Amino acid sequence: MFKSKAKIMAIANQKGGVGKTTTCVNLAASLVSMGASVLVVDSDPQGNATMASGINKFEVKKTICQVLIDNVDIEETIIEKTNGAYHLVPANDELTAAEVKLMDYLAREYRLKNALSALAARYDYIMIDCPPSLNLLTVNAMCAADSILVPLQCEYFALEGLTQLIDTIDQLAHAVNPNLRLEGILRTMYDNRNRLCTDVSSELKSSFGSIVYDTIIPRNVRLAEAPSYGKPALYYDKNSVGAKAYNALAAEILSKDPESANLPRQQ
């Protein structure tokens, strides 16, 4: 570990199909390849991050659900051997019922934050894959997080949805997590042959400036195929443009992190 305290990053967007899970597992794998210690927390009942890490969500005995509902020690749920070389707290469809049960708890927004506090000195980065909605599971992730990374597909309704999400982040920052900030906006599934893509991309840069990452994630067949093999793209086809793009994103994130100078770089 090179950081004094783990940076907790939620990968969130209320719109589905924009590359949240793809970003979570591929960015995590790339950060690990560069020497960082990373924990991925699957907080989506679909369990896609779990499956994309090579872990069968139907076979795991303890998940984030038991942590949130039954007060199971999060250490007991961590899977250390994944196809992305990061550690994983898995999830499956049990988490759907957990959201309903959470309504009966006091300080229900802080359940994940309290669980993760025990891991702050163990990892450099903790990345939370959020469900595609602004529900109580997402609120838990945002309460626990230091920042939010927003994957955004460059399409017609993207800017409207982004505005709503930023408003929600501001509200949560005022209400429950004053340290919460927007980490960055990541353009995903990008096709430079598509005029709409390039127009929305330009508008994002014009409106949000340096908050928009320089790195752009292109549409890439190998990137799309990798989850069906239970691997991040880096371990499915490291030479694919998708794998190289997430390596570039990891490098960009580290370049903005003042503590990354202590990172034990891999050759």
Is 264 contained in some domain?
Answer: no
11 and 151 Cβ atoms separated by less than 8 Å:
yes
Give domain status of residue 156, yes or no. Answer: yes
| Measured torsion, CA atoms of residues 231, 232, 237, 242, in degrees rounded to the nearest 10 | 150
Q: Which residues contact 209 (CB under 8 A, 6 or more apart)?
A: none
What's the confidence (pLDDT) of residue 266? 44
Tell me, yes or no, whether 37 lies in a domain.
yes
179 Ramachandran zone, left/alpha/beta (phi>0; psi -120 to 50): alpha
Q: What's the CA gap between 246 and 25, in Å, rounded?
A: 10
Structure token pair of residue 138 = 């997402």
Instruction: Give me the tens of pLDDT residue by residue for the chain, a chain 267 residues long.
Output: 788 889 999 999 988 889 999 999 999 999 999 999 999 999 999 999 999 999 999 999 999 999 999 999 999 999 999 999 999 999 999 999 888 899 899 889 999 999 999 999 999 999 999 999 889 999 999 999 999 999 999 887 777 788 888 888 899 888 889 999 999 999 999 988 888 888 889 989 988 999 999 999 999 999 999 999 999 999 999 999 999 999 999 999 999 887 766 666 443
What is the reported pTM? 0.94
Domains in the chain: how many in total?
1
Domain membership of residue 59 (yes or no) is: yes
CATH assignment of the domain containing 55: 3.40.50.300
Give residue 35's domain range: 7-258
* 94 belongs to a structural domain: yes
Residue 2 in any domain: the answer is no
d(CA 111, CA 80): 22
In a domain, 263, yes or no: no
Closest-CA residue to 23 (of 157, 145, 185):
185
Q: What is the pLDDT of residue 263?
A: 67
C-beta contacts of 223-227 below 8 A and 24+ residues apart:
223/22, 223/26, 226/26, 226/52, 227/21, 227/22, 227/25, 227/48, 227/51, 227/52
Q: Is residue 150 part of a domain?
A: yes
Residue 124, strand partner residues: none
Question: Of the candidates 215, 217, 218, 223, which has an alpha carbon nearest to the alpha carbon of residue 254?
Answer: 215
pLDDT of residue 98: 85
Quote the CA–CA distance of 263 and 76 in Å, as a whole number: 28
Residue 174 CB neighbour total at 10 angstroms: 10
pLDDT of residue 267: 33
Q: Scan for tokens 């659900």, then name that residue.
A: 65
Cα angle value 42/43/44 (rounded, 5°): 95
